[in-house]
Amino acid sequence: MKIDRRSFLSFVIGGAAGTAFTPLPWKLTDDSAIWTQMWPWTPVPDYGEVSYVNSTCTLCPGGCGITVRKIEERVVKIEGLSGHPVNDGGLCLLGLSGAQLLYGPRRVKTPLKKVNGKFRRISWDEAIGELATKLADLRAKGGSHKVAFIAASDQGTLPELINRFLTVYGSPNFIRTPSILDSYELTLDLMHGVQALPGFDIENTDFVLSFGSGLLDGWGSPVHMFRANSSWRDRKSTVVQIEPRLSNTAAKSDKWIPIKPGTEGALALGLAHVIIKESLYKKDFVHNYTIGFEKWRRPVVDGFSPDIVAKITDVDQTTITDLARKFARASKPLAVCGRGRGTTPGSLKEFMAVHALNALVGNLNMAGGLWTIPDADYIDWPELEMDDTASTGMQKGRIDGAGSQNYPHARYLFNRLSEVINSASSPPIDVLGVVGSNPVYTAPDTLSTKEAFEKIPLVVSFSSYMDETAEMADLILPNHIYLERYEDVPVISGIKYPLIGLAKPVIDPQFNTKHTGDVIILLAQALGGFIANAFPWESYEACLEETLGDKWETLLQQGFWLNVSFSPPSWAKAFETASGKFEFVNDQIDALPRFSSLKPEGKEASFPLVLIPYDSMRLQREFIGNPPFVIKTVEDTVLKANDVLVEISPDTARPLGLKEGGYAELSTPKGSARVKVHIYDGIKPGLVAIPAGLGHTAYSKYLAGKGVNINSLIGPVEDPASGHDAAWGIRAKLSKA
Amino acid sequence: MSTLDDQANQAVNAETSEAEETAFQVNDQRKGSGGYIILFFILGFVASLIVGWVIFPKLLYSQRKQPVEFNHALHNGEVDEACESCHFFREDGSYSGVPKLAQCIDCHEEVQGESEAEAKFVSEYVQKNREVPWLVYSRQPPCVFFSHAAHVKKAGMECVECHGPIGESESLKPYEQNRITGYSRDIWGANIAGLKKNAWDRMKMDDCVECHRTNNVNQGSVQTHKGGCFVCHH
């Protein structure tokens, strides 16, 4: 017997035949099918008990209620809270993506200290001890006023704790990041004589006149605005969008008026001209409850006739006249302003011109109009005991110049910080705390902001994420993220009622982070003496519960506290100016309508075009960067791979030889960048539009390195009336690359 | 065969050319190995049967012990509501599955009896507040949606109909894990051929279908009355 090839083949064939009579092939087929469903990288939520926790989203100032779905101790979904006065069940895509901020890769997991340019982990005791020692030394040397804090809001217990700490420590330098709230607050202060928030009864308006506000692009409280938009459609209201670019808001409006950017204030006065000339204004209000109308009307009638305004604004005369008549004849008209998402304060005179339109049609504190909402007043802490150092420090005047002779009306001038720091011979700030904001990314003129931050000896970031500012910080004391902490959120985004939301922990902190409120209390205790005495609470939570008093239970159970009985004061009681009336003219700021458009930075000869930023719901331009889900929704006419596309009209593209999708070099007086070109009919010739919210250098690989940061191409333009940043664009050049 | 051989021998005698002789020698060898070929075929056949029926199942599954020994019969005697005492439905109608530590602690905060398993359970898990990583014999792949409420509450089925008399067991059998899929052997069933004697011997899709057909219930989507893949699959 020889075993040869034949017998081997025979053995194999026998084996194959035999295998067919075993379960092996069928079982393997089945198992391999199941194996493909079981790849370890396929995310599968755990089994377990489902629970929901109601809370408040703090990712933007919108104040939406959320309900968080959990499986055991894992957050799996965030939804809008039904019945909530802001969003009633709706939620934007950023809010929906919150779980990625919780579990994403760029959390700061423990306190970090920069040693020789690299971050080193330290304990909380070391971190707080070190900061307290530094603060104590500085105070002993009489430098208490050289400590500053930047925060995104000045309302609620956390900002108030920081402010209280600064005051008792001896520094007036609490700085709020800029937004249109700065301009609206000033407008209400100067024209109504009240310190109040603007509230828009926008869902009941039947004629919305928007001076470039991205009503559906993130202005105000975004989800609330979407709901308002639905109610406009249902009630056949008219929406007119005045904006140089066909934004989403413009596309959804009834009429889009492409205007020369920066001339919106002139158009407002042109409309006022027609309303006055044709006697369409609300006589009862104007004659009985206002002052200065005669003084104001003369320059408006003389200087802003439709033919003059048409030349300034590029809007034709009949459109102006027609618009003015329709606006004034509507039963509940409302004019709003603040460009895009409202992140830049803008020109005060423009705000006052638009607000004067509201006064002319008498919608102040009326249904469908603009209401004044008093600031939240629930924080009633014991009077502070101050020592000499604290009092001296408080009298030093603010670093940003707000409230000084040059800027008497401004409360915070964040935009002046870089300039002040960079022009000083020795650093005017020794310690800067940054809470809930990312100024190195969001401040205009990135280069000079970075230069300023490098000059500050100690930058302390309280960020939960490794953002641009945290990367530049010397010390990071990471806060819990909004899903892990308590925080009261007085809603400041234009809701027409006094409303407080409560963010509460839906899950235990995932890392070694600490509530910034607790850190402030611990810092005060470490400094000891009367500073410690100013903070008699054992924890932030105890402070919050005590501060909210009888509202606490409602907030815990319902998630929000709403003053339902609120109605804005009647005209007779609404104005607290010296005259007790609405003031058209305010001599303090020379608010006569000698309106001239603020020019963008740069010379026309070398920069023939004008670059304007634009906002969209799909791009976050503030503290929170786009999570991966959100960046995935950005269209490829905005971002293609890592290239940003700028929009130009075909008329602008032709002489420059630029083609759709081609590369170009975009330069401005502040910097230059390589971009791609998107040729778009929806933009006025001579303009270049660039999306805001891209060009991060920090955060995760899902965001960093994509596109260009508009702030690296634009600088602040100081509004002569207020000192706030009023830049709406910058001169630019585009050339084929 | 002998006829062929005879014919060949005759042919050898009849022809004398060398070339033809060589050819016959080859032919002779082929005749000699014919039996072996079949033998090898049979060997291969039998070997593969052994591999397929005996060795393959042994290779396919690894055996793991449960982290804690558990006596269902003993517990069943102590509780009032049979299986549902521990494997209960939550208020929202979802099924809780294997009990969490929190439920066990209700009775076992301290050691109750004298068994080693309980002592280990209390010291390793209760006192350290760690969940027991039970290995679940009947865990389906994540792409399968199964509602206990529909079967137990609505259709009134007994636990034993699908899970067998596990409530009477005094110890936990080893958990056999499929090395390819990571799943329990109990889904395919102990019998490698996929045959079953009892309804609870297997938990594959065919078994779901079989029962639904036999009882003539919900064999498609309730909404469309057509084949309802997504009734049970994600």
Cα distance between residue A662 and residue A562, in whole Å: 52
Q: Write out the CATH class of domain A609-736.
A: mainly beta
Check CB contact under 8 Å for B40 and A1.
no
By Cβ distance, the residue of B44, B45, B141 closest to A34 is B141
Query: Could you tell me which chain B residue has the CA closest to the CA of A38?
Result: B181
d(CA B208, CA B231) in angstroms, rounded, equals 12
Q: Does A4 touch chain B (CB under 8 A)?
A: yes
Report whether pLDDT(A400) > 70.
yes
Burial-class residue A405 by CB neighbours within 10 Å (0-12, 13-18, 19+): exposed
pLDDT of A589: 65
Residue of A nearest to B178 (CA): A31
Residue A425 contacts B, CB cutoff 8 Å:
no
**What are the residues facing A499 on neighbouring strands?**
A562
- Tally Cβ neighbours within 10 Å of residue A310: 19
Q: Do domains A202-368 and A609-736 have the same CATH topology?
A: no
CA A636 to CA A615: how far, in whole Å?
A: 16
What token pair was written down for B213?
């057909």
For all residues of chain B together, what is the average pLDDT? 84
- The answer to whether the beta carbons of residues B196 and B189 sit under 8 Å apart is yes
Residues of A in contact with B195 (CB under 8 A): none
A688, A734 contact by CB (below 8 A): yes
Which among B17, B123, B112, B23 has a CA at the least distance from the CA of B74? B112
Chain A's closest residue to B89, CA to CA, is A49
User: Which residues in chain B have their CB less than 8 angstroms from residue A30's CB?
Assistant: 188
Per domain, the residue ranges of chain A are 5-37, 112-172+377-480+512-546, 202-368, 609-736
Choose the closest CB to A31 out of B41, B45, B178: B178
Does the beta carbon of A17 lie under 8 angstroms from any beta carbon of chain B? yes
**Is the confidence at residue A602, as pLDDT, over 80?**
yes
- Beta carbons of B52 and A24 less than 8 Å apart: yes
Does the structure show a pLDDT above 60 at A495?
yes
Contacts of B193 in chain A (CB under 8 A): 23
Decide the pairing of beta strands A174-176 and A147-151: parallel
Q: What is the pLDDT of residue A45?
A: 76
Which of A7, A34, A49 shows the shortest C-beta gap to B37?
A7
A-chain residues near B141 (CB < 8 A): 34, 37-38
Q: What is the pLDDT of residues A190-230, one digit of tens each?
A: 999 999 999 999 999 999 999 999 999 999 999 999 999 99
Q: What percent of chain A has pLDDT over 90?
A: 88
pLDDT single digits (tens) A54-102: 999 999 999 999 999 999 899 999 999 999 999 999 999 999 999 999 9
> How open is the CA angle A671-A707-A677, to the nearest 5 degrees?
85
Partner-chain residue, chosen from B33, B44, B143, that has the shortest CB–CB distance to A18? B44
| Angstrom distances, CA of residue A173 to CA of A167, A412, A443, A724 | 9, 9, 18, 16
pLDDT at B7: 53
3-state helix, strand, coil in chain A (%, to 5): 35, 20, 45
With an 8 Å Cβ cutoff, are A38 and B182 in contact?
yes
pLDDT in tens, A232-247: 999 999 999 999 999 9
Site from A31, A46, A69, A76 to mutate, B interface, most B CB atoms within 10 angstroms = A31
Number of residues assigned to chain B: 234
Secondary structure (DSSP) of A468-525:
HHHHH-SEE-PPPPTTTS-EEEE--SS-SS-EEEEE--SS--SSS---HHHHHHHHHH
Task: Give the Cβ contact number of residue A195 at 10 Å.
Answer: 13
| Helix axes A293-303 and A264-277, enclosed angle (nearest 10) | 110
Where residue A503 falls (left for φ over 0; alpha for ψ -120 to 50; beta otherwise) is beta
Nearest residue in chain B measured CA to CA from A37: B143
pLDDT category, A457, cuts 50, 70, 90?
Answer: very high
Residue with tokens 């330290």: A122
Angle between helices A264-277 and A348-360 (to 10 degrees): 30
Q: What is the pLDDT of residue A132?
A: 97
pLDDT of residue A196: 93
Q: How far is CA A118 from CA A471, A472, A473, A731, in A?
A: 10, 10, 11, 38
Per-residue pLDDT of B208-221, as tens digits, reads 989 999 988 888 77
What would the pLDDT profile of A109-128 be if each residue is shown by its tens digit?
Answer: 999 999 999 999 999 999 99
**Percentages helix, strand, coil for chain B, rounded to the nearest 5?**
55, 5, 40
* Min Cα–Cα distance to chain A from B60, Å: 9
- Weakest-pLDDT range from A25-39, A311-325, A398-412, B6-20: B6-20
Cβ atoms within 10 Å, residue A325: 15
Pairing between strand A147-151 and A118-121?
A: unpaired
Place of tokens 């809780």: B96
Q: Is A49 on the interface with B (CB under 8 A)?
A: yes
Strand partners, A673: A666
Q: Do B33 and A7 touch (CB under 8 A)?
A: yes
With beta carbons less than 8 A apart as the criterion, state whether A272 and A357 touch. Answer: yes
Q: Compute the CA torsion angle A582, A587, A588, A593 (nearest 10 deg).
A: 80
CA–CA distance, A207 with A210 (Å, rounded to integer): 10
Chain B residues touching residue A27 (CB < 8 angstroms): 56, 60, 188, 192, 194
Chain A residues in contact with B40 by the CB 8 A cut-off are 3, 7-8, 10-11, 14
| Cβ <8 Å between B183 and A21 | no
Out of A17, A27, A50, whose CB is closest to B92? A50
**C-beta of residue A619 within 8 angstroms of C-beta of residue A634:** yes
Paired with A239 in beta bridges are A208
Query: For B194, which residue in chain A has the nearest alpha carbon?
Result: A23
pLDDT tens for A651-693 read 999 999 999 999 999 999 999 999 999 999 999 999 999 999 9
**Residue of B48, B61, B134, B206 to mutate, interface with A, max A Cβ within 10 Å:** B48
Residue with tokens 């006052």: A352
Q: What span, in angstroms and rounded, lies between the C-alpha atoms of A306 and A270?
A: 6
Nearest-CB residue to B181 (from A35, A44, A50): A35
pLDDT at B226 over 80: no
Average pLDDT, chain A: 94
Give per-residue pLDDT as tens, A129-151.
999 999 999 999 999 999 999 99
Hey, is the C-beta of A663 within 8 angstroms of any chain B C-beta?
Answer: no
Pick the CATH number of A202-368 from 3.40.228.10, 3.30.70.20, 3.40.50.850, 3.60.15.10: 3.40.228.10
ipTM of the modeled complex: 0.81
Q: Does A29 touch chain B (CB under 8 A)?
A: no
Q: Give the 3-state secondary structure of A252-312.
A: HCCEEECCCCCCHHHHHHHHHHHHHHCCCCCHHHHHHHEECHHHHHHHHHHHCCHHHHHHH
Q: Does residue A340 surpass a pLDDT of 90?
A: yes
Q: Please state, in angstroms and rounded to a whole number, the distance separating the CA atoms of residues A703 and A631.
A: 7
Establish if A508 touches chain B: CB-CB under 8 angstroms. Answer: no
Q: Report the alpha-carbon distance of residue A619 to residue A708 in Å, rounded.
A: 12
Residue A113: φ, ψ to 5°: -125, 140
* CA-to-CA dists, residue A498 to A494, A566, A568, A576, B180, angstroms: 10, 7, 10, 19, 60
Q: What is the mean pLDDT of residues A337-359?
A: 95
DSSP A245: B
Q: Do B51 and A4 touch (CB under 8 A)?
A: no
Report d(CA A477, CA A461) in Å as an integer: 6
Q: How far is B209 from chain A (nearest CA, A)?
A: 17
List, for residues A149-188, the tens digit of each pLDDT value.
Answer: 999 999 999 999 999 999 999 999 999 999 999 999 999 9
CATH topology of domain A112-172+377-480+512-546: Rossmann fold (3.40.50)
Question: Which of B44, B97, B194 is closest, CB to CB, to A11?
Answer: B44
Taking CB atoms and an 8 Å cutoff, what residues of chain B touch A3? 36, 40
Q: Using the beta-carbon criterion (under 8 Å), do B143 and A11 form an inter-chain contact?
A: no
pLDDT at A590 (0 to 100): 61
Q: Provide the 3-class DSSP secondary structure of residue A348.
A: helix
Closest CA to A516 of A544, A492, A556: A544
Using the Cβ of A451 and the Cβ atoms of chain B, whether some distance falls under 8 Å is answered with no
What is the distance in angstroms between the Cα of A40 and the nearest Cα belonging to chain B?
Answer: 10
CB contact under 8 A, B60 and A27: yes
Q: Using 50, 70 and 90 to split pLDDT, how confident is the model at B12?
A: very low
Confidence of residue A15 (pLDDT cuts 50, 70, 90): very high
Candidates B41, B56, B147: best to mutate against A (most CBs of A within 10 A) is: B41
Among partner residues A15, A28, A37, which is closest to B44 by beta-carbon distance? Answer: A15
